[in-house]
């Protein structure tokens, strides 16, 4: 018998608490696969956020640190600066990264911190029960925008990749989704490029995942995937946003 599929070594053999239809599980797996493929599990330190992925340290089989809300890029900076040989990644949601941690992410990117950020954008605060996020779409209903997000009142959603790609320290920025096998494959390539950017010492790297929240969106898992494709990917176009300019 030939084994053709197995759990990556960087992923722990435990059940997760994620809701049915949530794509955190796929994203965790992609990261673990890339860590394995690059052979850096024993050098890797992950940083989990405050949000649905707060317990990510239970799900990865590598060293992990739990950060306070939004501060993961600052914590990652401290680890990487103190221990430059470590491979450091943060795993952050939209409330964590684009709202309370907006300052930390902008400055980590502008400094060109040699860290990798996995940004999971599902346009809502999942863990706290479905409140409006900085990435909630105009018109989208949440528990704190019950009539739909009105940009006149609640402002406009933040496009993180576009914002960060203007900074010279941002060496690799990409937005992906995992709504189809083809998108999963593209997402995996982006995660690998992001980690390689760090390993090559080129600077800051970030991969934004458009993700689902069937529970708080009030959708079935299949409807949620379709909503990512039809609504989110329109406001948040997929693709690579910046690359380190070729030298010479």
Residues that bind other proteins (CB under 8 A): 41-45, 47, 54-55, 57-58, 60-68, 71, 74-83, 85-87, 103-104, 106-107
Residue among 72 and 120 whose Cβ is closer to other proteins? 72
Structure-token match 């221990």, residue found: 83
d(CA 206, CA 90): 9
**Could you tell me the smallest distance in angstroms from the CB atom of residue 58 to other proteins?**
8
DSSP codes of every residue in 196-248: HHHHTT--EEEEEEE---HHHHT--HHHHHHHIIIIIHHHS--EEEEEPPPP-
Reduced to 3 states (helix: H, G, I; strand: E, B; else coil), residue 93 is strand
**Could you tell me the smallest distance in angstroms from the CB atom of residue 128 to other proteins?**
14
In degrees and rounded to multiples of 5, residue 142 shows phi and psi of -140, 175
d(CA 14, CA 246): 42
**Could you tell me the smallest distance in angstroms from the CB atom of residue 34 to other proteins?**
16
**Could you tell me the smallest distance in angstroms from the CB atom of residue 90 to other proteins?**
10
Residue among 64 and 235 whose Cβ is closer to other proteins? 64
Residue among 93 and 157 whose Cβ is closer to other proteins? 93
Residue among 61 and 92 whose Cβ is closer to other proteins? 61
């Amino acid at each position: 018998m030939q084994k053709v599929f197995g759990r990556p070594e960087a992923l722990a053999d435990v059940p997760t608490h994620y809701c049915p239809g949530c794509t955190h599980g796929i994203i965790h797996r992609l990261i673990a696969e890339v860590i394995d493929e690059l052979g850096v599990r024993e050098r890797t330190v992950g940083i989990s956020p405050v949000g649905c992925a707060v317990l990510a340290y239970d799900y990865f089989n590598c060293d992990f640190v739990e950060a306070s809300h939004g501060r993961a890029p600052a914590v990652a900076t401290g680890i990487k600066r103190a221990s430059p040989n470590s491979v450091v990644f943060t795993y952050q949601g939209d409330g964590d990264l684009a709202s309370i941690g907006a300052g930390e992410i902008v400055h980590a990117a502008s400094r060109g911190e040699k860290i990798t950020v996995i940004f999971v954008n599902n346009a809502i605060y999942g863990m706290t029960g479905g409140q409006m996020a900085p990435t909630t779409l105009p018109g989208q209903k949440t528990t704190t925008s019950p009539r739909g997000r009105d940009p006149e009142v609640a402002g406009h959603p933040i496009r993180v990749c576009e914002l960060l790609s203007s900074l010279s320290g941002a060496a690799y920025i990409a937005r992906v989704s995992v709504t189809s096998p083809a998108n999963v494959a593209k997402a995996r390539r982006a995660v690998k490029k992001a980690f390689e950017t760090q390993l090559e010492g080129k600077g800051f790297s970030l991969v934004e995942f458009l993700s689902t929240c069937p529970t708080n969106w009030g959708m079935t898992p299949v409807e949620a995937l379709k909503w990512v494709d039809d609504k989110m990917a329109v406001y948040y176009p997929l693709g690579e946003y910046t690359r380190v300019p070729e030298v010479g």
